[in-house]
Structure 1
Amino acid sequence: MAPGDVILLVDLGTQSLRGTVMDRAGHKLARWSVPVTTIRAGTCAEQDAREWRDGLRTLLEWLGRDHQLARCLRAIAACGTLAGTVALDERGEPLRPAMLYSDARPARCLPEIEATAAFQVVSQATGWRANACDLLPQVLWLAREEPDTYARARLLLDSTGYLNYLLTGAAWMDTYTQFTCYADPFSGELPRPLLAELGLDAGKLGQPAVIGSVLGTLAPQLAAACGLPPCHIISLSYDSMTAYLGAGLHREGEALDISGTVTSFGVRRATQFLDGNRRVYSLPFSGSGDWLVRGSTAASGASLEWARAELMDCDFARFDEMVRSSPPGARGLVFLPYLAGERAPLCNPDARGAFFGFTASTTRSDMARAVYEGVCFSLRHIQSVMESGGVRIGTVKLAGGLAQNPLLNAIKADITGKTLVPLLDHELTTSGAAAIVGRALGWYESDAEAACVLGQGGAPVLPDAANKAVYDRQFQLYTMLAEQLTPLFLPSEAYPVAPLPPVESPIQIG
């Protein structure tokens, strides 16, 4: 290898901070991972941004110890999760934990945003709605609920912006994160009229950065401490958008399903799609003039993990055995996977999960299968809204951790009726980042070439017609339940909670 032959891609997820060294042929030459801790209490979901900082430093030091790789390093690119607001003081130190996209507290700020004249102009043109998982509601929540922290903050950055701040010493906000602040999609600027109407300081946010642009070079002090050359830092967006941009969606109707803790679904379309009820939305796609029609669930993989740990108390191999022993349709049992509210198409942070259809003959295996099916029904619910508005959905590529489960993929194909193509490298955020960086460095002449090198698909998964007929009937019940239960979905504080009786601790201290 020669200098300039490799890149480092950093991906911050909900469970770990990962670093991958790749070459232009897509070979993964080294991989490291540092765990991160999520703090959950009620509707709060946070992580300590100092863990991100220390983890990033650890990844860079590990790379620096491999002298052959380090001398060949040409660029670093980092992405985090959606939002993940970090408040930094004058010294660049975090003032409080970072708010994750799953934190529901900013939901109380949505009516204030929706009521502004500036937001209504943007919403009418785009069909967007304010969501608690977005950056601007988190910033507004800090301003309203923790005014001292907001006042002390010199910078308020999303997780990707914070990683780039650590790498370059400058504050940035990528194009798609600007959209989570409800910026005009055609302006390339921060939504200053909206920020002014809400009384928020635009100076606390990062300066706009185009995806794939060079933000600068690795901060000299950091480079020297870690034994790395002064390489370029390339701009990415948050994880799911980075995956979409590198997924090789070249033609109208090509779609991508990224399923991990949550599911994000998007399909390429030549024209903008405006849903009158704002259940799904469109974003300009990759500067091509086309659009990405998107919708996301709130708890797909999270629902599976909950069921595995809390209901079945088994590993996933045993869980899959139970699913296989129940017939398609789970003998009429339906599961609504609304364990963290629901995003598209309900857009209701107060939605609650439910089982419906228990009988005396219902088995644990039926419950396990109903959970798998419920997660797939939630995806079909998004697709049905898109298709009812004339959006064509063709072959769907699969990525994310759940794409590794062949049984779940087969059920998903049967329920949606789509041909699915699991990508050979399910870590699409990393390969998507490689595609963006490779294009920026001139490694690939086109997005198609990058996708050909980095995003190859496996054997297609075809729907079974007999199973789909069963699921068509079950899906009608699923959507009916979602509609009929909506009036019962109340904020957490509306549910009475009896205090638990005191329990004597079996552990004696002292």
Structure 2
Amino acid sequence: MKAVFGFDVGTSSSKGVLTTLSGEILATAQRPHDVQRPHSGHVEMDPRIWWTELCDVAHELLDQQPEVEVVSVGVSGMGPCVALTTRDGEPVRPAILYGVDTRAMDQVARLTEELGGAEEILKRGGSVLSSQAAGPKFLWVKDNEPEVYDRAERFFMPASFLVWQLTSQYTLDHQSASQCTPLYDTESLTWYEPWAKQSAPAIELPELYWAGETVGTVTAKGHAATGLPEGIPVVTGTIDAWSEALSVDAHNVGDLMLMYGTTMFFINTVDSPVLSKELWGTVGALPNTRNVAGGMATSGAITGWLRRLFGDADFAELTEQARQSGLGANGLIMLPYFAGERTPISDPDARGLILGLTLDHSRGDLYRAALEGTAMGVRHNIEAIEAVGGKIERIIAVGGGTQGDLWTQIVSDVTGRPQVIPTHTIGAAFGMAWLAACAIEPIPAHEWNPPARMLEPNAEDHARYDELYRLYTSLYPANMEQMHALAAIQRAGDGRS
């Protein structure tokens, strides 16, 4: 039986899947991992972990399905990240992760001024510089670790690093490149050399491809490490959220992919470029597509944090207690800015807030407040997307948070929007399996992973949430000054003032 291998590196785990060419899931495997947070605002990971986990997962899946013949491979990963390496692909330091890493804000300000201001960068790059942009992170390393930077010659993201390990081809997909602001020109769809040289001096830029294009084949070295057959095609990967959108056919104009994960991510496909200082304008994963995107810095990360605080409590038990807490969490509101916030406020110094606590509140109330707080953040982002010209006709929910119905129902009730729940919510690895399959035998995305059901909002609950949402949106402006003061204290205590 012919099969394809899809693999994805996420923030908290790596996942792999073997499927048939028609999308039947044969086997899955997962490897949990942790990011490193060496200082306040720093979030990083050793790229070698990505390759080790791919090799482990590939061997596990092949051992589970010894009768299959793997004929194509696709990989994706979190991003935009900056993994600096030597010319041979040897990492010179841990990879700096996407917008949850906020270390380069001084470089954001400096580059914005040097390149002619936010409007000029927005016009060419599709987004203003923020903690999400890859460009300033190169300069942070150059400014703070000059000896390390002097050794760097190339850069990778998780997907491109794994493609390099499998094929020895130095590539990057256009979508990922479009989040390397200000290195990439979203109009000409090429690297913009003047800004690239200023933002990432002396770094060789990879050759660009669209996600799903075949860029090489598994080498003898790749075969020896993974067990995947030598000579089979490897397709260009992309950032995990975009692969996840592909996995559920959420790349048509009017679609909004809503990804429930460690962080929350939004991708709205539009018919022409949308420019906004609050959101991210990018090219799509596939040719001739455009997106307006956003992301929250935390979502599932907060529920995981609460679980640890509660002595590694069982998620199912906490979820049931949150259900019993009821709408409004018995008078609690949570701002989910526990790692700063990305869109739409773009404030790395925002901080989490839990308002209304009394001695009568339970852990179920706190857990409910976390689910409702992230749902409020979803509504805030949806309203921001529509305010700048995004058009949302269909919301497709993906990710691990869609398992069970409480969180997704709360999001629909808070936003007043129905959500399509697909048949498979395995995630980005399944999207890369689709692209890998299409390299052999094209299959329409809507046939690969058809919708399973529609989740409708409760009109009465939505009306009740409207009042809570007004309170939610008032909290950040009223507490921003205090949040920033506390963030400064936290950095000083960490030695990073």
TM-score, L = length of structure 2: 0.90
Where does 1:210-225 land on structure 2 (aligned, <5 Å)?
Answer: 210-224=210-224
Question: By how many angstroms is 1:422 displaced?
Answer: 1.7
Name the structure 1 match of 2:13: 16
Separation in structure 2 between the aligned mates of residue 224 and residue 464 of structure 1, nearest angstrom: 54
Q: What is the percentage of aligned positions where both structures have the same residue?
A: 26
Among 7, 23, 36, the residue aligned to 1:26? 23
- Code of the aligned partner of 2:274: F
The answer as to 2:43 corresponding to 1:45 is yes
The answer as to 2:456 corresponding to 1:462 is yes
Greater Cα shift, 470-479 or 387-396? 387-396
Against the structure 1 CA distance between its residues 367 and 235, is the aligned structure 2 distance closer, same or farther, given a 3 Å change threshold? Answer: same
Structure with bigger gyration radius? 1
Q: Secondary structure of 2:80's partner? A: coil
Q: Secondary structure of 1:495's partner? A: helix
Against the structure 1 CA distance between its residues 123 and 414, is the aligned structure 2 distance closer, same or farther, given a 3 Å change threshold? Answer: same
Separation in structure 2 between the aligned mates of residue 90 and residue 386 of structure 1, nearest angstrom: 40
Against the structure 1 CA distance between its residues 69 and 87, is the aligned structure 2 distance closer, same or farther, given a 3 Å change threshold? Answer: farther
Separation in structure 1 between the aligned mates of residue 430 and residue 409 of structure 2, nearest angstrom: 24
Q: Secondary structure of 1:408's partner? A: helix
Separation in structure 2 between the aligned mates of residue 402 and residue 103 of structure 1, nearest angstrom: 23
For 1:351-377, what per-residue CA distance to the aligned partner results, in whole angstroms no more than 9, with x for missing partners? 100011235654443332211110100
Name the structure 2 match of 1:507: none
- Code of the aligned partner of 2:223: A
Separation in structure 1 between the aligned mates of residue 178 and residue 491 of structure 2, nearest angstrom: 38
The answer as to 2:450 corresponding to 1:452 is no
- Code of the aligned partner of 2:468: Q
Against the structure 1 CA distance between its residues 316 and 66, is the aligned structure 2 distance closer, same or farther, given a 3 Å change threshold? Answer: closer
Greater Cα shift, 112-121 or 58-67? 58-67
**Total equivalences in the alignment:** 488
Against the structure 1 CA distance between its residues 319 and 170, is the aligned structure 2 distance closer, same or farther, given a 3 Å change threshold? Answer: same
Question: By how many angstroms is 1:82 displaced?
Answer: 0.4
Q: Secondary structure of 2:439's partner? A: helix
Query: Does the CA contact (< 8 Å) of 1:394 and 1:418 recur in 2?
Result: no
Greater Cα shift, 108-117 or 490-499? 490-499
Against the structure 1 CA distance between its residues 251 and 148, is the aligned structure 2 distance closer, same or farther, given a 3 Å change threshold? Answer: closer
Higher relative contact order (CA 8 A, sep 6+): 2
Greater Cα shift, 414-423 or 98-107? 98-107
Separation in structure 1 between the aligned mates of residue 358 and residue 62 of structure 2, nearest angstrom: 60
Where does 1:92-241 land on structure 2 (aligned, <5 Å)?
Answer: 92-101=89-98, 102-117=100-115, 120-125=119-124, 127-182=126-181, 183-198=184-199, 200-203=201-204, 205-224=205-224, 226-227=226-227, 228-241=229-242
Query: Does the CA contact (< 8 Å) of 2:175 and 2:283 recur in 1?
Result: no
Question: By how many angstroms is 1:443 displaced?
Answer: 2.8
- Code of the aligned partner of 1:215: V
Where does 1:345-356 land on structure 2 (aligned, <5 Å)?
Answer: 345-356=344-355
Tell me, which stretches of 5 or more residues in structure 2 are unaligned?
Answer: none
Separation in structure 2 between the aligned mates of residue 253 and residue 16 of structure 1, nearest angstrom: 30
Question: By how many angstroms is 1:249 displaced?
Answer: 2.9
Against the structure 1 CA distance between its residues 154 and 198, is the aligned structure 2 distance closer, same or farther, given a 3 Å change threshold? Answer: closer
Separation in structure 1 between the aligned mates of residue 342 and residue 458 of structure 2, nearest angstrom: 29
Tell me, which stretches of 5 or more residues in structure 1 are unaligned?
Answer: 501-510
Question: By how many angstroms is 1:65 displaced?
Answer: 5.4
The answer as to 2:474 corresponding to 1:485 is no
RMSD between superposed Cα atoms in Å: 2.6
Against the structure 1 CA distance between its residues 464 and 24, is the aligned structure 2 distance closer, same or farther, given a 3 Å change threshold? Answer: same
Q: Secondary structure of 1:410's partner? A: helix
TM-score, L = length of structure 1: 0.88
Where does 1:38-437 land on structure 2 (aligned, <5 Å)?
Answer: 38-41=35-38, 42-62=40-60, 68-69=66-67, 72-101=69-98, 102-117=100-115, 120-125=119-124, 127-182=126-181, 183-198=184-199, 200-203=201-204, 205-224=205-224, 226-227=226-227, 228-249=229-250, 251-275=252-276, 278-287=277-286, 289-310=288-309, 314-359=313-358, 362-437=361-436
Question: By how many angstroms is 1:473 displaced?
Answer: 0.7
Question: By how many angstroms is 1:405 displaced?
Answer: 2.7
Query: Does the CA contact (< 8 Å) of 2:72 and 2:233 recur in 1?
Result: yes
